[in-house]
Amino acid sequence: MSKIGFIGLGIMGKPMSLNLLKAGHSLVVYDINQAAVEEVKQAGAEVGSSPKDVASKAKIIITMLPNSPQVKAVVLGANGVMEGAEKGSLVVDMSSIAPLVSREVAEALAVKGIRMLDAPVSGGQPKAIDGTMSIMVGGAQADFDEMVPIFKVLGGSYVLTGGIGAGNVTKLANQIIVAVNIAAVSEALVMATKAGVDPELVYKAIRGGLAGSTVLDAKAPLMMDRKFNPGFRINLHIKDLANVLETSHGIGVPLPLTAGVMEILQALKVDGLGECDHGAIVKFYEKLAQIEVKRTEA
């Protein structure tokens, strides 16, 4: 197996890199968080001194970073990936960023003969840990095919959705559905609780019907157990919806439901809940209704 460069060892990147090591891949890693670097080093990874250094030591370079500015800085900036990567290398950006930025970065890399895929993921930390994320990919078919053995380690599904930027367009669509779905689950359970009906029984009754969803199964139990540790942080979903709205406005697509949920997330951030899981959307509705969704005591 060839050596893989991995840049970004955060809440998603660290378990992803550990899974690659467990699968037998050689890694050279970089992050500004030295504690995360040390943990992955102890698991068997080599440590690079900069993104440039990582790229000089690996033909495949995966980035998993917070947003568009960080991806541009790490890939195109001083001591960045583009300075260290050889012609023919493949950069796979698994961050969730604006599709137009993916295209901008890919075009800059192409000048040096460096290939790129945008391959954002869905599933949050639990699926990053167990290697069952959904991976949405944009780029060339041949580059996607080359990455399939690596995607198999990281994800339960991996789909090429089009050219560069298509992966992040798909991820934005995903984030719309997740955000609006969590808000709908929150509204429903708050309404049921305020009406005096046990939310757990409501959940059990509806989960097998048309209202059932992965979001319902993932978030309703955590809401009732009052577990709001991330998961997927509200601040990150705000970032994603900002990219959604910027993209949609740029192409002339009004998104009234998404805009409404964005304002709910902003209100929660103002309340100091930005680092909570996005399941804490229920707290917005609980505050309005003066009721708390929780399991009935036995």
What confidence tens digit (pLDDT) does each residue in 109-161 have?
A: 999 999 999 999 998 888 999 999 999 999 999 999 999 999 999 999 999 99
For the stretch 44-72, pLDDT in tens is 999 999 999 999 999 999 999 999 999 99
Q: Is the dihedral of CA 243, 246, 252, 254 positive or negative?
A: positive
Give this prediction's pTM.
0.90
What SS3 state is found at 174?
Answer: helix
Is the pLDDT assigned to residue 174 strictly greater than 70?
yes
Q: Residue 260 contacts by C-beta under 8 Å, 6 or more apart in sequence? A: 183
Domains of the chain by start residue, with CATH: 4-163 (3.40.50.720), 169-289 (1.10.1040.10)
| Residue 127 annotated among the catalytic residues of the structure | no
Strand partners, 60: 4, 90
Element (H, E) at 251: helix 234-251
Is the pLDDT assigned to residue 1 strictly greater than 70?
no
Element (H, E) at 100: helix 99-111
Q: Is the dihedral of CA 287, 288, 290, 293 positive or negative?
A: negative
Q: How large is the average pLDDT for residues 223-241?
A: 93
Q: What percent of the chain has pLDDT over 90?
A: 95
Q: What is the pLDDT of residue 297?
A: 66
Q: Please tell me which residue in 127, 171, 219, 283 is annotated as part of the active site.
A: 171
